[in-house]
């Protein structure tokens, strides 16, 4: 077929620091291209380099239909204001109706195009199938949701437009929103955690991850800081909305015309709001400012020290600094764990100092979990590190005991009657409200249970909608208590899903359910272990179809980066991470025992014989 014109098209990707001349560089829509043939990909950036910029160019005079298609697809990856160049490939009426902010379809690679289909009298023009593998969607709220890789097929239709200089091919029908390959999506967008408060829990911030443009948004012309604040004011995403609340009054927006929020020389940020917020009280205003501080915490290269909220007339509503904002985040949500815990070779609970540089002698905890009165298999430590829950060696019984003093071993709070260890209790998990969660894997009586404050009669938790025959293998609840990670097995495959924890009724004795499970690692064929690793991040052990086992970080929305795969480790059965990202990752490998992965280092052996490593939670 000769030279691939799509390679020339990608030459529109230029370093922002070195804008090259037009000669031989900006050739999108300029080369001679075939009107038919096999499926081809529109070549995308090979890596998610945020410094790479794509500069779109309009179609040349007399451009063929395929040149128009490839030029338009290329222009969708640019930062052009309101996608003005991309619109030059569209019919005028189509341009008016096209909304790039209506959502984004993310494909595993840049979209390919199939053989042209020429219409007849009833459908004049040319159809080009857009083909690929869809891996995610991004809705108008900027919420990313990974999906099981699925064949993607849509159609772009072109017609001849008659103008002053003759007839030109233009697009008059196309898929809604943007269609981007994964590398172009990562080059243009970054993940940001918006923060709201758990319903009824004024001091429990909850992360709500969204994706915003890395540079100016082509539609709003807002910089990333302003985009993030606007997204926060727009309210929580639909999935999280039922379990969180925001102190911002309904209808609060940035003051009309605000396109940029600038920091002063003290790293303080002034945020002008519209009249909806002008009459809020000081306490409410302080919580509003704290939300903004939490949201911007990891976005900028310099720490945001202070936020000043302003009324519509420019007067000051309140000022909150970063230290004051921390008063709205309880310690257990901030991940202030002191120790790492594991089950030692004697089936007792032992701990390792999380801060020690040379960890060589683990210590057994106080009480029946550490003195041999209970032979255990699995363990979960409460976030205050005063209490723990342990599953007996045969996986049939769940016990709770203090870690602060020696005491007698009480009666089990939960019993399973499964016919084998694999069909009995899962590892226990504590949420930030100090509630204890565990699953009974007995196929005859499966159940997800919650024990309020780690005591009393277990409450069966209903999952809405149901599990459709899947069995819960593992349970991990987030620090904020409003999200739960479940490993579910069906037809020999174990998958990872995230559910929303809803509470209804009296605060002291609510009815708790898990709603709207969604996939968190759909590209993995099977998942072996999972742990929370921050406000919206998980560490997952699993493998993709035809691949080898890997340990990687993933967002709760199912997104990940090329750098999220961690150094190789064989036969991993359990993994534990702290909400404090400075703490090392800990894992249990059948080959290497209990190992840790400090930031920027390789795996190191902590204990040769042991299992069930956990951080509090």
Instruction: Output the DSSP codes for 276-327.
Output: GGTT--HHHHHHHHHHHHHHHTTTSSS---EEEEE-TTS-EEEEEEHHHHGG
Distance CA 584, CA 21 (A): 48
First and final CA of the chain: distance in angstroms? 59
Does the structure show a pLDDT above 60 at 14?
Answer: no
Q: Which of 476, 430, 429, 422 is nearest to 446 (CA)?
A: 422
Write out pLDDT tens, residues 545-586: 888 999 999 999 999 876 788 988 999 999 999 988 888 999
Residue 214: exposed, middle, or buried by beta-carbon count in 10 A (0-12, 13-18, 19+)?
A: middle
Least confident of 32-46, 293-307, 488-502: 32-46
Write out pLDDT tens, residues 451-469: 999 999 999 999 999 899 9
Determine the pLDDT at residue 120. Answer: 65
Q: Which of 370, 419, 413 is nearest to 394 (CA)?
A: 419
As a whole-number percent, the residues of the chain with pLDDT over 70 amount to 88
Residues paired with residue 340 on neighbouring β-strands, in sequence order: 352
Q: Give pTM, 2 decimals.
A: 0.88
Residue 603 token pair: 């795996």
> What values do phi and psi take at 396, rounded to 5?
-95, -20
Distance CA 338, CA 357 (A): 13
> What values do phi and psi take at 341, rounded to 5?
-120, 155
The stretch 385-398 carries a mean pLDDT of 97
Going by pLDDT thresholds of 50, 70 and 90, the confidence category of residue 118 is confident
Q: Which residues lie below 8 Å from residue 78, measured CB to CB, with a gap of 6+? A: 12, 53, 54, 55, 56, 85, 86, 218
Going by pLDDT thresholds of 50, 70 and 90, the confidence category of residue 121 is low
Tokens 């930030």 correspond to 432
Distance CA 589, CA 572 (A): 4
Q: Name the residue with higher pLDDT: 227 or 407.
A: 227
Does the structure show a pLDDT above 70 at 331?
Answer: no
Distance CA 130, CA 110 (A): 10
Distance CA 312, CA 309 (A): 10
Write out pLDDT tens, residues 250-284: 999 999 999 999 888 888 999 999 999 999 999 99
- How many whole angstroms from its chain centre is CA 200? 24
Q: Which of 290, 207, 210 is nearest to 247 (CA)?
A: 290
- Of these ranges, 269-278, 324-333, 539-548, the one predicted with the greatest mean pLDDT is 269-278
Q: Are strands 414-415 and 429-430 parallel, antiparallel or unpaired?
A: unpaired
Give the Å distances, CA to CA, from 539 to 160, 167, 484, 600: 52, 56, 14, 16
Going by pLDDT thresholds of 50, 70 and 90, the confidence category of residue 101 is very high
User: CA angle at residue 562 from 40 to 10, to 5 degrees?
Assistant: 35
The SS3 assignment for 331 reads: helix
* CB environment 498-533: b (16+ within 10 A), e (fewer): bbbbbbeeeeeeeebbbebbbbbbbbbebbbbbbbb
List the domains of the chain with CATH numbers. 5-184 (no CATH), 189-331 (no CATH), 332-614 (2.120.10.30)
The stretch 227-238 carries a mean pLDDT of 97
Write out pLDDT tens, residues 21-58: 333 333 333 333 334 444 444 444 433 445 567 788 99
Q: Name the residue with higher pLDDT: 11 or 221.
A: 221
| Dihedral over alpha carbons 484, 487, 488, 492 (to 10 degrees) | 170
The stretch 595-602 carries a mean pLDDT of 87
Angle between helices 282-296 and 224-233 in degrees, nearest 10: 130
Asked, as a colleague might, if the bond just before 465 is cis with ω within 30 of 0, I would say: yes
């Amino acid at each position: 077929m000769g030279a691939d014109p799509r390679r020339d098209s990608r030459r529109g990707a230029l370093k922002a620091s070195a804008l090259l001349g037009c000669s031989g560089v900006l050739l999108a829509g300029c080369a001679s291209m075939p009107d038919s043939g096999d499926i081809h990909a529109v070549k995308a950036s090979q890596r998610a380099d945020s410094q790479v910029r794509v500069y779109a160019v309009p179609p040349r005079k007399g451009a063929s239909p395929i040149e128009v298609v490839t030029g338009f697809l290329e222009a969708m990856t640019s930062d052009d204001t309101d996608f003005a160049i991309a619109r030059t490939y569209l019919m005028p009426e189509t341009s008016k109706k096209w909304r790039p902010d209506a959502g984004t379809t993310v494909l595993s690679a840049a979209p390919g195009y199939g053989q042209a289909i020429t219409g007849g009298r009833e459908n004049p023009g040319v159809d080009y199938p857009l083909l690929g593998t869809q891996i995610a969607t991004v809705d108008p709220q900027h919420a990313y949701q990974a999906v099981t890789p699925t064949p993607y097929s849509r159609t772009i239709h072109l017609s001849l437009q008659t103008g002053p200089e003759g007839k030109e091919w233009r697009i008059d029908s196309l898929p809604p929103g943007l269609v981007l390959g994964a590398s172009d999506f990562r080059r243009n967008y970054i993940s940001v955690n918006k923060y709201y408060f758990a319903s009824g829990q004024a001091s429990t911030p909850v992360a709500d991850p969204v994706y915003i443009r890395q540079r100016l948004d082509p539609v709003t012309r807002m910089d990333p800081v302003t985009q993030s604040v606007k997204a926060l004011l727009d309210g929580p995403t639909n999935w999280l909305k039922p379990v969180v609340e925001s102190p911002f009054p309904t209808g609060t927006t940035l003051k009309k015309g605000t396109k940029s929020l600038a920091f002063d020389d003290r790293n303080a940020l002034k945020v002008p709001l519209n009249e909806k917020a002008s009459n809020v009280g000081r306490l409410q205003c302080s919580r509003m400012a704290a939300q903004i501080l939490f949201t911007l915490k990891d976005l900028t290269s310099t720490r945001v020290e202070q936020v000043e909220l302003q009324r519509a007339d420019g007067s000051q509503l309140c000022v909150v600094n970063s230290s004051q904002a921390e008063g709205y985040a309880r310690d257990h949500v901030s991940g202030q764990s002191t120790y790492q815990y594991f089950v030692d070779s004697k089936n007792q609970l032992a701990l390792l100092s999380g801060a020690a540089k040379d960890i060589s002698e683990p210590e057994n905890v106080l009480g029946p979990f550490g003195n041999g009165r209970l032979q255990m298999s699995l363990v979960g430590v409460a976030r205050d590190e005063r209490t723990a829950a342990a599953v007996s060696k045969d996986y049939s019984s769940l016990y709770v005991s203090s870690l602060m003093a020696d005491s007698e071993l009480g009666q089990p709070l939960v019993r399973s009657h499964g016919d084998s260890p694999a069909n009995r209790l899962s590892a226990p998990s504590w949420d930030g409200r100090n509630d204890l969660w565990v699953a009974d894997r007995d196929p005859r009586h499966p159940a997800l249970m919650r024990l309020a404050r780690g005591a009393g009669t277990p409450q069966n938790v209903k999952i809405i909608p149901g599990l459709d025959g899947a069995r819960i293998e593992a349970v991990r609840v987030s620090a904020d208590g409003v999200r739960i990670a479940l490993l579910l097995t069906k037809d020999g495959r174990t998958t990872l899903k995230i559910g929303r924890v809803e509470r209804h009724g009296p605060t002291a004795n609510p009815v708790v359910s898990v709603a709207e499970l969604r996939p968190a690692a759909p590209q993995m064929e099977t998942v072996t272990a999972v742990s929370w690793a921050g406000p919206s991040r998980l560490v997952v052990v699993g493998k993709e179809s035809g691949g080898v086992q890997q340990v990687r970080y993933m967002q709760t929305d199912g997104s990940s980066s090329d750098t999220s795969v961690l150094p190789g480790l064989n036969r991993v059965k359990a993994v534990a991470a702290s909400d404090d990202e400075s703490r090392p990752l800990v894992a249990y490998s059948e080959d290497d025992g209990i190992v840790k992965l400090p930031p920027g280092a390789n795996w190191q052996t902590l204990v040769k014989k042991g299992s069930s490593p956990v951080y509090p939670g």
